[in-house]
Structure 1
Amino acid sequence: MARIYNFSAGPSMLPEPVLQQAQQEMLDWRGSGMSVMEMSHRGPHFMAIAEQMKNDLIELLAVPANYRVLFLQAGASAQFAMIPQNILNGKTKACYVNTGAWSTAAIKEAGKYCEVQVAASGESTAFTTIPAYADWRVDPAAAYLHYTSNETIHGVEFNDIPDAGDLPLVCDMSSNILSRRVDIGHYGLIYAGAQKNMGPSGVTVVIVRDDLVGLEAKNTPAVFSYAQQAKADSMLNTPATYNWYLLGLTLQWLKGEGGVVAIEQRNIRKANKLYQAIDDSSLYRNPVDPACRSRMNVPFVLADATLDKAFLEQAEQQGLSTLAGHRSVGGMRASIYNAMPEAGVEALIEFMAEFERTH
């Protein structure tokens, strides 16, 4: 069976060369006589894999020297709790910007550890836009300011970096990390699940500034402590070794494609083509303010919702998979992360045009 174009929001499609290399190395990693998933995480083979992976990520993101790069488990959702546990530093309040479902989840979890002040919210517009910076209310007494740079469900993305003043800026970059250039030096902490732009699920990247490491509450479990994980090179417990390996292969693929600068230009072209097709149509509509439309997750609805089932069924028949919108919002959603080739977006556009013509 031919491979499909997988528009899933995550776990998402991986670059085909990465899968091919993993297949070739499955039984015998580079003459070691064993699979990566069988290796001791303390052995020389895996330590080399881990070091290369970390160095490649630092290079691709141009991570400054005063940051720690961690590879943790339990998903980005675990960071919703780990962040306040680690960087409240005795303060009782934290500021959060609410731009969609994942911001909402982060706010709810942080509320177990501190008083959450919602500095701005897009809820009144059904999360179709980002509140104007002039309307944000950031408490200078808060421990940090948190926002989500791209909302996978609602399709809203920041195109710049908010000004947090003197507060550490914390960002959930799960769905757009490595998809565009970003100055890490503006942040106190960023975090991202791997399963959208970096590899399979099971690894969460945390990049945290040195001055925010070692501030955890006394009752913070060791595996949740940034300081303890940094001291142990993210191996305080056995890591998800095979997932690290696949993450590393994905980073090497990205470097071979020209790095973040090149992939950003590709992502711009892909998104522009798809949004243009939607805007030129009388059947499809994207509800998001054009000023903050996501390059990664493109939600759209059909003018006649009774056609949704037929659209999805016929798309699947054409090898265009997982286009249903999130159950909380309905409609359709095309996730076009780094690994989605332009040909996949063009195939979707051609199908959408033909479906509109016949319906």
Structure 2
Amino acid sequence: MENVAALPALESRIATLVAQYAGVPAGMTVPRTCAAVMDAVAGQGVVSSEGGKRLRALLALATFDAVRGGTGADGDDPGRSAVMDLACAIEVFQTAALVHDDIIDDSDLRRGKPSAHRALAAALSDAPQPDHAGRGLGIMLGDLLATASVAIAHDAASRLPKTQPIMRAFLNMHREVEIGQVLDLAVEEAPLDRPEALASSSLGVFRWKTASYTTIAPIELGLLAAGTNTTKARAIAESVGAPLGLAFQLADDLIDVIGSPSSTGKPVGGDIREGKRTVLLADALIAADGADRAELIRMFEAPVRDGDDVARAISLFGSTGAIDRSRGRIATLWHAADAAVGDAAGMLGLSDEGRALLAGACARFLPAHLRER
């Protein structure tokens, strides 16, 4: 069972919360000469927060509903409105992370629209250095959204019994993602002549940068909001969320080369153009013969890669078996996460409906064809 009935309410609530928490506080003003820029940044915060699959929020809500025995949006638990806001806080934090990611990666698009710093640069086209100003304002927008996510989570947690554990978990999520971003940048400096080490390091980074806020925190926060013991909540969140989060990131990297712009909102091969050190690349380097390996290394060590390079890299990812290896990794991790859901259902005493609700929310992170061995 999939709890998707909450999607329209989530979209509306996120827009309301971002407008409330990421702009100028009520009752305060900014200098008139600066108001237009501030309004542009606040407006971009709302635009950047639109869309997305809301997988993280739906997972948090499904976890709460599974434990409380509710069926979703029509449940009458008085704490569910607070959990809705807590779920929105995770999504607002994700938007903050994506705004910063797009600046780091110099990305033009996000969810099929101009990335925040590009949109802000366009809005400031009359400025002496619009691109520089756009990047600067993008950094600050990311900061505003990250701070807003904490305020939203705090106000939501204050309406729930486990206020302090919830806030500790939310702030721990922030810290883990920030560490993960540092580690991700460190991996980008890794030499390509040791692909086994590159694969191992990249998988380790996924736990910090992706799984931490994509799957682990939503499960942990949903369990805490439902009254689960703090230690048990963390253990279950790790057992289910770690393999699920790694599978999700591997799938994202794979879809980057086998997907389409219409389905992803990004150009095919974006990671290749950026020269990203992915597990997919590491697997190709491990399996490639001498000439193909040398070609990949030259390609990814070059300052730029064009469309021909993207096509050639994708071809090598296929011919070396890296794509098939990635599919195998994803399926193995999915089955580990699914088994952990079964164990968690027993530990939590979930009904069959509750287990199905949690399992369905987890399954949404991966296309069906990638969950199969």
Q: TM-score w.r.t. structure 2 length?
A: 0.28
Specify which structure has the bigger relative contact order, considering alpha-carbon pairs within 8 angstroms and separated by 6 or more residues: 1
Q: Which has the higher helix share?
A: 2
Q: Which has the higher strand share?
A: 1
